[in-house]
Copies of this chain bind each other. A is one copy, B any other.
Amino acid sequence: MQLALPRSYFATFLNLFRSQDADKRKKLKNAVAHIIGENPSNLRLYQLALRHSSASRETVIVGFRESNERLEYLGDAVLGMVIAEFLFKKYPYKDEGFLTEIRSRIVNREMLNGISRKIGLDRLIEYDGARTKSLPARTSMYGDALEALVGAIYLDKGFRFTRRFILKNLLSHYDIDSLVQNNANFKSRLIEWAQREGKEVRFDIIAEKGNSHYREFIAQIVINEEPFATGSGYSKKKAEQSAAEKALELLDAK
A interface, CB within 8 angstroms of B: 53-54, 56, 59, 61, 64, 67, 69-70, 72-74, 76-78, 80-81, 84-85, 88, 93, 95-96, 99-100, 131-132, 135-137, 151, 154, 159-160, 206-207, 209-214, 218, 220, 226-230, 249-250, 253-254
Contacts and interface: CB of A to CB of B under 8 A. Distances in A.
A153 B61 CA distance: 39
Given A74-B85, A136-B210, 4 more contacts: A64-B93, A73-B99, A73-B100, A136-B209
Given A61-B93, A73-B84, A218 B229 contact: yes
Name the prevailing secondary structure of the A interface residues. helix
27 contacts: A53-B213, A53-B214, A56-B213, A59-B93, A64-B95, A69-B214, A70-B88, A70-B95, A73-B100, A76-B84, A77-B80, A77-B84, A81-B81, A131-B213, A132-B211, A135-B211, A136-B209, A136-B211, A159-B160, A206-B226, A206-B227, A206-B228, A207-B228, A207-B250, A210-B253, A227-B227, A230-B230
Q: Number of copies of this chain in the oligomer?
A: 2
Nearest to A160: B159
A69 B81 CA distance: 16
Contacts of A226: 206
Given A70-B95, A74-B85, A93-B59, A253 B209 contact: yes
A95 B61 CA distance: 12
A135 B77 CA distance: 31
